[in-house]
């Protein structure tokens, strides 16, 4: 799908149950920092409901958490907006189709929700593409994907929305293409029956990994997006599988 001239964008994708999220860094990272724990975590106003397998996008300085498992539904239609300036949440117009593991991107006053699953585990892949208009709080359906897919990586490059990889109706995972900025690699499942709390960063400029301050508690199935120097991690599950859903909004910042 063709969009207007490109602006800056943030990219967040999900590989298995591990989260990749773009995060801007104020300055270069030195070699000595690679062996130190960097950054700090804080908690903000919790989500309006406990959720997992969500999709998260940043748009116009706000965070949008979309779909996922919630309120007894495997694939919900929830669309909730978080305002970092006021530390508050509000419900917005629901997605026309319930979905989990969807791919999302925010761009030029709109949010694009692409694919996803309708049931567990990775069942009922969707080919639907929806566009959310922030100014009118309304949705419209766009041309579908060439085939149904969930866990799609989505990015906006050169004025176009790219849907990358994912898993189809046959549960076969297709080849993926990843685009790096700075990358945060946090959480996941399972480690001796528990979720991971590790948080690492990859710096493409120096081609090395950094050990960052770990999550306050291990988790997976959460979504992430960045606004300025802050990365926001929403919802997820504290245990392996889909149990023990969380309503926490965690914020990570590098010094």
Q: Does residue 4 lie within any of the structural domains?
A: no
Region 57-81: mean pLDDT is 96
Q: Does residue 152 lie within any of the structural domains?
A: yes
Region 3-18: mean pLDDT is 30
- The pLDDT of residue 34: 54
Specify the higher pLDDT residue, 75 or 30: 75
- The pLDDT of residue 121: 85
CATH number at residue 75: 2.120.10
Q: Does residue 3 lie within any of the structural domains?
A: no
d(CA 2, CA 137): 21
Region 54-75: mean pLDDT is 96
Report the domain count for the chain: 1
d(CA 132, CA 110): 5
Q: Which residue range(s) make up the domain with 132?
A: 12-253
- The pLDDT of residue 174: 59
d(CA 95, CA 76): 8
Q: What angle do CA 179, 18, 34 make, to 5 degrees?
A: 70
CB 29 within 8 A of CB 196: no
Strand, coil or helix: 34: helix
d(CA 77, CA 174): 26
CB 58 within 8 A of CB 105: no
- The pLDDT of residue 110: 94
pLDDT tens, 81-105?
999 999 999 999 999 999 999 999 9
Res. 25 pLDDT band, cuts 50 70 90? very low
Q: Does residue 154 lie within any of the structural domains?
A: yes
Q: Does residue 31 lie within any of the structural domains?
A: yes
Provide the greatest CA pair distance for the chain.
50
Q: Does residue 30 lie within any of the structural domains?
A: yes
Strand partners, 183: 22, 202
Which pair of structure tokens corresponds to residue 197? 């709390």
Q: Of 75-84, 178-187, 198-207, where does mean pLDDT reach its minimum? A: 178-187
- The pLDDT of residue 135: 96
- The pLDDT of residue 137: 98
pLDDT tens, 204-229?
678 788 899 999 999 988 988 888 77
Q: What percent of the chain has pLDDT over 90?
A: 51
Q: Does residue 5 lie within any of the structural domains?
A: no
Alpha-carbon 206 to chain mean position: 25
d(CA 211, CA 198): 8
Among the ranges 53-67, 194-208, 211-225, which has the highest mean pLDDT value?
A: 53-67
Q: Does residue 6 lie within any of the structural domains?
A: no
Which pair of structure tokens corresponds to residue 185? 């690699």
Among the ranges 26-35, 60-69, 163-172, 201-210, which has the highest mean pLDDT value?
A: 60-69
CB 222 within 8 A of CB 54: yes
Which pair of structure tokens corresponds to residue 237? 């599950």
CB 229 within 8 A of CB 253: yes
Q: What does pLDDT average to over the chain? A: 82
d(CA 104, CA 98): 14
């Amino acid at each position: 799908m063709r969009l207007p001239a490109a602006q800056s964008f943030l990219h967040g994708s999900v590989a298995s149950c591990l989260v990749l999220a773009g995060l801007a860094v104020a300055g270069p990272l030195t070699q000595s920092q690679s062996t130190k724990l960097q950054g700090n975590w804080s908690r903000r106003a919790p989500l309006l409901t406990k959720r997992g397998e969500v999709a998260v996008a940043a748009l116009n300085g706000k965070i949008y958490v979309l779909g996922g498992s919630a309120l007894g539904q495997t694939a919900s239609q929830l669309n909730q907006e978080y305002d970092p300036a006021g530390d508050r949440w509000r419900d917005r117009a629901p997605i026309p189709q319930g979905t989990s593991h969807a791919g999302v991107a925010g761009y030029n006053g709109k949010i694009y929700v692409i694919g996803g699953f309708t049931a567990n585990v990775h069942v009922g892949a969707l080919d639907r593409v929806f566009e959310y208009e922030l100014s009118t709080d309304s949705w419209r359906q766009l041309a579908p994907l060439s085939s149904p897919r969930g866990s799609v990586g989505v990015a906006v490059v050169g004025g176009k929305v790219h849907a990358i990889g994912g898993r189809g109706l046959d549960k076969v995972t297709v080849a993926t293409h990843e685009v790096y900025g700075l990358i945060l690699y946090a959480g996941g499942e399972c480690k001796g029956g528990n979720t991971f709390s590790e948080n690492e960063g990859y710096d493409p400029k120096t081609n090395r990994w950094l050990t960052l301050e770990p999550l306050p508690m291990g988790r997976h199935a959460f979504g992430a997006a960045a606004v300025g120097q802050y990365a926001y991690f929403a919802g997820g599950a504290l245990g392996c599988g889909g149990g023990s859903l969380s309503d926490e909004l965690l914020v990570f910042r590098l010094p």
